[in-house]
Amino acid sequence: MEKTNMENRPVDMYCLTSNKHFHPTLTVHNILGNISHEMIAPAKAVTGVYRGHSTTSVYNSRILLQIGDRIVTVETHAGYAFTYGSKREKTALTLAAKKGKEVTLSINENDTAVTLSIKGGISITQPVNNIDYGSLVKKTVKNETLYGKPVTNKILEGELIAVDYHGPLLMKDDGEVVQYKSPLNNPEMANAKLLVGNHVRVALNDQQELTIQSLDAHLERSVDKKPEMKHAPAIKTTHIIRLTHREDLNGYTSVEGRDYQKPIFHQGASKVAGQLIEANPNYGTFTLEHPVYGRVGVSVGKRLFQGDPESCEALFKACEEKKPVAISLDKTGTSLTVAIKDGPTLVNKMQSPAIPFGLVDAKQVSAEKTYRGKLNAVHAEHSVELQTDKGPLIVYGRGGASAEVTLKKMMGKQVEVSAGKDNALVVKTLEREKGLAR
């Protein structure tokens, strides 16, 4: 695939980003001798008539808009963009496509959430799972490999302007943006993002691992090297698989912890298999030896097999024998299955879906802070999930001021969450509706 420039050509696809370092690029496709051109431009927001989803993206992350007499594609970077949600949202999008309503697609300042706003109607916000700037990059640098291992060590220097899962993106002194093609795992991406805005050198170390070394005199950090510190603990990543039924979080990853704190890599999945090392039903957690990731934790966010001593005994026996198991959630997130090889299949029913702690930012209510957003989920009377301008947010308290059934009546509505007596969770709707207090 070749990329070049051409003036006065209309845009075929917009790539949502708030990053100001990117510029329009013309991509030339050559498929079996058939030449086609695609002008791709960065944009923080795009407005046009909503025409549904593009069928060319693997994860349905692209939206079609009509601007004037042309149909353009908008890359949102959000997997299955706006295809899930409340009945109200789905109805609004269906009507928008049917009636040809004007919508605006926009991305927030740090490229972590996209919003679709229907003119005269509702706005829907969805998190960005994996940002991909590749379509806006004119040049890439990649090490040649032999039998899957790098045999060259190309070095690239410039200002680190962004990081995506394909590798770091640098702006050279002549203004050219180049991507160093070397996939980063999520802990590496989190560390690399600490250096954005600095002049860096990117290369492979002696272990053939990607290093991003700051060349700024005042900053001496890199992806694989930390400042010297007496008795500094070795940094190892704790990998936790958060079981979730939600399509927007299935495959989603996040990282918490950096510098000398042990990083935790959270990964969303609806099922996982491996050798069972440890089980803690009271905490809803397991430890597996995974064939790819090695030692991983598995969490459901709920107590499991309460009042079921036979299932607990079967789990503990499987741990002693280090039996292979497959752990999965159903499509509702309320039924957990643990299938033990050459043993029983255990099923745990839950009154509400598994809680995606780790995948979604969580805050405890306090007298100093209130939170506003659309009520997306009710995990318990003391724990709810909001869709805010910055993305999904779990808010919890020490107990709840309202019953779970009362909170569920506010699902899909704009609400305010605050602290009540003894920091209990208080949820109030911001929409006027009969039967609900404002």
With the CA atoms of 193, 197, 203 and 207 taken in that order, what torsion angle do they form, in degrees rounded to the nearest 10? -30
Range with the poorest average pLDDT among 186-200, 207-221, 365-379, 406-420: 207-221
Give the pLDDT confidence score for residue 206 in this predicted structure: 62
Of 187 and 101, the structure prediction assigns the larger pLDDT to 101
Which contacts of 390-393 are long-range, i.e. CB under 8 A and separated by 24 or more positions?
Answer: 390/108, 390/112, 390/113, 391/112, 391/113, 391/125, 391/127, 391/360, 391/361, 392/127, 392/360, 392/361, 393/360, 393/361, 393/362, 393/363
pLDDT tens-digit series, residues 101-135: 999 999 987 787 788 999 999 988 877 766 888 88
C-alpha distances (whole Å) from 241 to each of 298, 327, 339 are 5, 11, 17
Q: Tell me how far apart the alpha carbons of residues 57 and 74 are, in angstroms, rounded to a whole number.
A: 11
C-alpha distances (whole Å) from 28 to each of 3, 25, 135, 223, 330 are 6, 10, 11, 34, 44
Please report the domains of the chain, with CATH numbers, ordered by start residue.
2-127 (no CATH), 137-214 (2.40.50), 238-349 (no CATH), 361-429 (2.40.50)
Q: Tell me how far apart the alpha carbons of residues 150 and 90 are, in angstroms, rounded to a whole number.
A: 47
The three-class DSSP label of residue 191 is helix
Give the pLDDT confidence score for residue 415 in this predicted structure: 93
Give the pLDDT confidence score for residue 219 in this predicted structure: 32
Helices (H), 159-290: 186-192
Tell me which DSSP letter residue 54 carries.
-
Give the pLDDT confidence score for residue 187 in this predicted structure: 54
Give the pLDDT confidence score for residue 145 in this predicted structure: 58
β-strands 264-269, 238-243 pairing: parallel
Question: What φ, ψ does residue 250 adopt, rounded to 5°?
Answer: -70, 115
pLDDT for residue 211 is more than 80: no
The three-class DSSP label of residue 300 is coil
Q: Among 33, 43, 32, 30, which residue's Cα sits nearest to residue 3?
A: 30
Tell me which DSSP letter residue 222 carries.
B
pLDDT for residue 186 is more than 60: no
Give the pLDDT confidence score for residue 313 in this predicted structure: 85
List beta partners, residue 83. Answer: none
Residues 306-324, mean pLDDT to the nearest whole number: 89
Give one DSSP letter per residue of 56-86, joined into a string.
SSTTS-EEEEEETTEEEEEE---TTTTSSS-
CA–CA–CA angle 257, 259, 260 (5° rounding): 90
Q: Among 324, 322, 317, 321, which residue's Cα sits nearest to residue 339?
A: 324
SS3 content of the chain, % helix, strand, coil (to 5): 10, 45, 45
pLDDT for residue 220 is more than 50: no
Give the pLDDT confidence score for residue 2 in this predicted structure: 37
pLDDT for residue 30 is more than 60: yes
pLDDT bracket for residue 303 (50, 70, 90): confident
pLDDT tens-digit series, residues 149-169: 555 677 888 888 888 878 889
Residues 248-265, mean pLDDT to the nearest whole number: 55
Residues 6+ apart with CB under 8 A from 312: 281, 305
pLDDT for residue 306 is more than 70: yes
